[in-house]
Structure formats: structure tokens, C-alpha cells
Amino acid sequence: MQNHRFSNALWIPSPHFDERPTDEISLIVIHAISLPPELLNPLPVMAFFQGTLNHESDPYFDTLRDMRVSTHLVVGRHGDVYQAVEFDKRAWHAGRSEFGGRASCNDFSIGIELVGPEEGPFTDAQYHSLNTICSELCGAYEVDAERIVGHRDIAPGRKVDPGADFEYFRIRPSAK
């Protein structure tokens, strides 16, 4: 990792970010996305985060026309990694959210999107890449492994990703 970028990621910058209110990064949030639903291709996902999604190419995309969202990283089905926002910047991934009694999780979290159905399943390659990513992020930003959570955990009742069966044991670094 260098300059708040993951070294193994393809850099595809998003304009949808801003400055964090503080330097604190203490949470990692796992999401899942497929655009349109059930299409497991990272290209429309990255276009969505860049604000360049062709809304005429699929009727579902029209529902996203006015959305401005982003994430720090996207992990494709084959474990490919893309970065849209540097880690020291605030990506717009969590929406209305709360963790540990604190609202606005975007302020202090890193967002990671897995290309796939909202409730999985996810591939072994995605889990492998995510394990590497989480190990590096937890080390670099001193994030406790138990603070790797799903979108469903910070926005219960509103979000379900990455699903109740997500295998956190496969991505959380062990205590050293």
C-alpha cells in the first residue's frame, strides 16, 4: 500500500468523494453489488461509481440516474481489484448508517464492494483477495479485525449485503 492506494488495484478514480472530517479510519464495511441485478460484471459497477453509467443501456439503470455514490475498492468475481477512492478520502458508500453508537460511518470507514448478489454467494477468489486487502488495511490503519462488518450491520432493516451467510472468518486477520 502506498499513498492510500492498494498496490494490487487498478486505479479507476471516482469524482464522488470528499475530505474526511478527521484522519480516523476505524471500520471496514463490506458491500455487494451487481448492475443490473444478477449481472456479475464489474464494468457497469465501476461506471456507476464514476458517474458515467449509460442509463439508456438497461431499464434498471434509470432508477440510478440521480445517485452519486462511490466506494474505496471493488472486488470482481475472479478476485480482480479496482480502486475508486483513496483510503484517506471519504467515499460515499454507507448512506444512513451507524456503528457502535456513531452515525455517518462514511466519516471513519473504508468501503469495499464485492461484485455479486446482495446476499451472495461469493467466489473463493473474492474471499482470497478480500483476505489480503483486509490484512493490509487492518495493519496500515490499525483497524481491529472485529470492526470488519457488513452493510447490513451498519444499516439494519435498510440493507442486507453481504448476506447473513457471509464468511467473515475467511477475511478477518488473526490477532497477532
What is the set of active-site residues?
113
Q: Which three cell numbers stand for residue 102?
A: 456513531
Q: Is 175 exposed, middle or buried (0-12, 13-18, 19+ CB in 10 A)?
A: exposed
Residue of 168, 174, 169, 166 whose CA lies nearest to 138:
174
Which residues are CB-contacts of 176 (< 8 A; sequence separation ≥ 6)? none
The DSSP annotation for 58-77 comes to: -GGGGGGTT-----SEEE-T
CA–CA distances in Å: residue 72 to residues 9, 63, 90, 110, 118: 10, 23, 8, 6, 18
